[in-house]
Structures are given as C-alpha cells and as structure tokens.
Amino acid sequence: FVLELVQNCDDCLFGPDVEPALVVDLSATRLEFRSNERGFETRNVLALCSIGESTKALQAGYIGQKGIGFKSVFKVSRTPAIHSRNFHFEFCAPSNSPNVDKGVLGYIIPSPLPIPEGWDARRGTLVVLPLDFSSSASCTVDLEDLRQNLLDIQASLLLFLNKIVSIQVRDTSRACAAIAPRGRGNSGGGAQ
C-alpha cells in the first residue's frame, strides 16, 4: 500500500512553481502522507469513493488508472482520513461485519470530518491512516514491518516517478528520518 500512495501522489497535479514533494510521517499510532499537490477536485473524491472509477483512466503520463489503489490502505487502517482543499472526510470499515475476518471489506461510505485546526485549503493533501493493531485478518499492523517498508524506500524509486522530486520519511516513534531528493537538473533520473 505504501507504493500505491507514493504512486497516487506522483499522479497528482502540482502548481508550476512547486517542487513536487511527499512527506511520510510514522508515529506509534498513525501514518501520514503529505503532498504539496494542488488538491482534490470533486471528481477525485467521487473516484476515490468508487471501485473501478479513476480520474486517470486513459490519460497519458499516469501510472495508476484502475480505481482500486487507494483501497489498499485498508490493510493497515480501518479509518483512513483525507484532507485536501475543502474536502475533509474519512472511511470507516465496519469492525463487526461477519466478512471482516474473511478479508472482505464490502461497502464503505465516506463520512465528513471537521476541518483540522489551522488548515489552509491551499496546502495540498494529507492522508491520515490511524493504525489498526487488532488481530483481524483483513486489517492488522506490524509496526516493525511497516517501519522497515518505509525506511526501505530508496532514492532510486524516484527514477520511476514522473513528478515527485523528493520523498522524506520521518519516524517520530524512533526520532529518525530518511530523505530521498532528486535534483531539478535530473530529467530522467539519477537520485542524488
């Protein structure tokens, strides 16, 4: 799911004077992905809330286009939240459904969230994944595995991305960080 979210960020639109970047923050209880992209439009929200719908379908230059990538976050979180422009909502996977133990999600409807304190609608997109440490077969987190997956993001990943020029991973539960920048002058890759 981590690479799915990195890919989704790379597929976003960025302002002309913005150096596309992604910051990933891991704490003991949640994982956050912050992007300085332009932010969601109504059509992006509708596509995210559907299966098989994508705003990227049949458009050149996009990696993902199947409309299912974001749903992979349910591997680690029952209540993923999104804040982007004036959109603030979360999904709540039912924990009492008889299909949860079988790894079946079913229908999940978004719920509105209050605007975070100090939110600036021009600041990009924030995806918040409260981590689920339960033993459910459909959604469980091993913090050490997650930490390793995040720290294994190599600067070479930037070679395969079209827009993102830096990825910063911060682990606040251990006070460590990794930064993968790509120089502006590298137009085909070469992590620096």
How confident is the model over 9-65, as pLDDT tens digits?
898 899 999 999 999 999 989 999 999 999 999 988 888 877 655 444 444 444 444
pTM value surpassing 0.95: no
* pLDDT (mean) for 110-132: 91
Note whether 146 and 172 are within 8 A (CB): no
pLDDT at 84 over 80: yes
- Over the chain, what is the mean pLDDT? 76
In 92-157 the beta strands, taken as DSSP E runs, fall at: 110-112, 125-130
Strands across the sheet with 176-181, in order? 110-112, 87-91, 81-84, 125-130, 30-35, 21-26, 166-171, 176-181
Phi-psi region of 163 (alpha: psi -120 to 50; beta: other; left: phi over 0): alpha
Closest by Cα among 179, 126, 189 to 150: 179
Query: What pLDDT was estimated at residue 45?
Result: 85
In 53-162 the beta strands, taken as DSSP E runs, fall at: 81-84, 87-91, 110-112, 125-130
Q: Please, which pLDDT band fits residue 151 given cuts at 50, 70 and 90?
A: confident
Note whether 53 and 8 are within 8 A (CB): no
